[in-house]
Amino acid sequence: MTQQSNNIQQFLIVGGGTAGWLAVATLSNILQNADCQITLVESNDIGTIGVGEATIPPLLDAIRALGIDEADFIRKTQATFKWGIQFRDWLQKGSDYFHPFGALGRRIDGHEFYQVWLKCRAEGDNTPLMAHSVEAELCTQQRFFEPFNAANTPLASAQYALHLDSGLVANYLRDFAIARGVQRIEGTVSQVHQHQNGDIASVSLIDGQQLSAQFFIDCSGFRGLLIEQTLNAGYHDWSAYLPCNRAVTVQSQNVHDALPYTIATARESGWTWQIPLQHRTGNGYVFCDQFCDDQTATDTLLNAVEGEVISTPRIIPFTTGMRKQCWFKNCLALGLAQGFLEPLESTAIHLVSKTLALFVRYFPSLSDNQFLQQEFNRKVELDYLEIRDFLILHYCTTKRSDTAFWQHCANMPIPDSLQYKIELFKQAGNLVHQDEALFQSSSWYAIFTGMQVFPQRYNPTLDALNSQKLQQSLAAGANAIKQAVSKQPAHMEFIRQYCAA
């Protein structure tokens, strides 16, 4: 038997939300010359979740890797640019801070920038850390930049993501995949059939059609039709660490030009988001039902919304966690069927594309995939654990005690892995470095600093350097950022000029 005859030739994807269409777009692109039938079944009766509008930079890389033109994508998904997230009222009411994408400052004389900043701070320089972030300054001045003219300027390293309309994204990816030969079937799966060894054999639709395949991708949303309802892969429930378990969402009209960042405001029993798109704003309140009922949450959200509300409030329950095995037997779970970490750092759609990249790396064949499958599942779990710990950090470092929810967050148990990371940081500003980590050092520094967690000391090797020179160097860097940013176009002006049809 040749290796080729061992290749999988039929994939069936169940579900046509962002996860389903990103999966078929990726597979149809990577397998475009292979002898492989890719079919997606989606149910108009069930529909998609219809939220998920803020992203992080790696998603754009995934879109570009598909050969999609960025300006066309932005135009058709009504997207705006995102330099990061502004967190309001998380430390205390009235406080705020930025989590920008991208690096903070540059190494100085071989020393890490953050350590230099710590030393200068210890010696009385109170320039905020964010004065050294290009993205934070772009947020403050509400500007975008001209990427093609940024080389050799402080803007060269700027990293951005998008806010986008998730329904339009699914449509865009659907058209992309169908143009590459993917077959789309509209229908509702009513039954799943298994082989004797437990592998999935086929699914039946309500209209009587039966669809078989060699490998299945479960993108059916929270219900996990294949991975859980059929295969019982199990779920790690992390609600003890991340207590929010419901969200209420509404859309509103824009009242001003879209800001180039997401706003996440801490509220009585959770937090609200504000995500500005070209044509409207997405709003939501993520809360914990132990401390707040649906009506109070809806009222809180509606009071917080700036423009005229243009959709009916919708409640979405969820359980934070992930499948114990995301690839189980001949089934891969993606998107909400795989797991859900609350949307505080906009990581869900990224996890879909990251999982797909890993799946392509450990691609299955018709033979025994057990070893590859184990390694794949281990990697996906590491991604989730990294994000989980990073999210908990936002809550457990609060100094708020004004409501029962925030008292709970300040005192709840945290995982040992996060406890270790916090302790290491507190000693001398060190971080745990993980291979292929999503959140780089600058992200951890941003949250620690925003939540006023500081190391007890800076690295003593810095005492060999001249303090005055270091302070001058930092001031010059911050000033160069400010100047460079001030010459850039306003955010919406850039979108109108470069991305409009």
CB of 59 to ligand FAD, least distance (A): 8
Strand segments, DSSP code E, in 169-252 are 183-186, 189-194, 200-205, 210-212, 215-218, 235-237, 246-252
Identified binder of ligand FAD from the candidate list 38, 91, 139, 219, rule CB under 6 A: 219
Beta carbons of 74 and 36 less than 8 angstroms apart? no
Stretch that binds ligand FAD, among 49-57, 141-149, 451-459, 493-501 (CB under 6 A): 49-57
By CB under 6 A, residue 57 contacts ligand FAD: no
Whose Cβ is closer to ligand FAD: residue 170's or residue 478's? 170
Element (H, E) at 376: helix 370-396
Could you give the CA distance from residue 328 to residue 325 in angstroms, rounded to a whole number?
A: 6
Q: Which of 24, 25, 189, 380 binds ligand FAD (CB under 6 A)?
A: 189
Rule CB under 6 A: is residue 336 a binding residue for ligand FAD?
yes
Measured CA to CA, the distance from residue 393 to residue 414 in angstroms comes to 9
Among 108, 250, 349, 474, indicate the residue that binds ligand FAD (CB under 6 A).
Answer: 349
Residue 135 binds ligand FAD, judged by CB under 6 A: no
Residue 19 touching ligand FAD (CB under 6 A)? yes
What is the per-residue DSSP string for 69-113?
A: -HHHHHHHTT-EEE-EEEEESSSSTT-EEEEESS--S--BTTB-H
Least Cβ distance, residue 145 to ligand FAD (angstroms): 23
398 lies in the site for ligand FAD, by CB under 6 A: no
Helix (H) or strand (E) holding 317: strand 314-317
* Closest separation in Å from C-beta 117 to ligand FAD: 30
Q: How far apart are CA 54 and CA 51, in angstroms?
A: 9
Tell which positions 400-439 bind ligand FAD, by CB under 6 A: none
The mark string for 232-251 relative to ligand FAD (x by CB under 6 A, - otherwise) is ---------------x----
Q: Which residue has the tokens 């149809």?
A: 28
Residue 153 engages ligand FAD in binding (rule: CB under 6 A): no
Q: Give 51 or 131: the residue with its C-beta nearer to ligand FAD.
A: 51
Closest to ligand FAD by CB, 86 or 115: 86
The least CB distance from residue 248 to ligand FAD, in Å, is 9
224 binds ligand FAD (CB under 6 A): no
Structure tokens at 488: 């850039």
List the one residue from 166, 230, 369, 488 that touches ligand FAD (CB under 6 A).
166
Question: Is residue 339 a contact point for ligand FAD (CB under 6 A)?
Answer: no
Residue 160 CB-density burial (10 A; 0-12 exposed, 13-18 middle, 19+ buried): buried
Q: In which element (H, E) is residue 379 found? A: helix 370-396
Q: Which listed range, 37-45, 134-142, 263-271, 383-391, lies at the site for ligand FAD (CB under 6 A)?
A: 37-45
Q: Does 58 bind ligand FAD (CB under 6 A)?
A: no
* 134: amino acid identity, one letter: V
Other beta carbons within 10 angstroms of residue 359's beta carbon come to: 22
Q: Binding to ligand FAD by residue 48, rule CB under 6 A?
A: yes
Kindly state the smallest distance separating residue 321's Cβ from ligand FAD, in Å.
13
Shortest spacing between CB 41 and ligand FAD, in angstroms: 5
Gyration radius of the chain's alpha carbons: 24
Burial class (CB in 10 A: 0-12, 13-18, 19+), 446: buried
Segment contacting ligand FAD by CB under 6 A, of 50-58, 100-108, 370-378, 412-420: 50-58
Number of residues binding to ligand FAD, judged by CB under 6 A? 38
Helix (H, G, I), strand (E, B) or coil at 41: strand
SS in 3 state form for 411-470? Answer: HCCCCHHHHHHHHHHHHHCCCCCCCCCCCCHHHHHHHHHHCCCCCCCCCHHHHHCCHHHH
Q: Which of 26, 28, 55, 245 binds ligand FAD (CB under 6 A)?
A: 55
**E strand or H helix that includes residue 380:** helix 370-396
Q: In terms of CB distance, is 339 or 429 closer to ligand FAD?
A: 339
Per rule CB under 6 A, is residue 213 in the interface with ligand FAD? Answer: no
CB of 301 to ligand FAD, least distance (A): 12
Choosing from 26, 78, 220, 353, the residue that interacts with ligand FAD (CB under 6 A) is 220
Q: How far apart are the C-alpha atoms of 64 and 51, rounded to whole Å?
A: 22
Nearer to ligand FAD by C-beta: 15 or 57? 15
Binding site for ligand FAD (CB under 6 A): 14-20, 41-43, 46-49, 51-55, 166, 188-189, 219-221, 223, 225, 247, 284, 316, 318, 335-337, 343, 346, 348-349
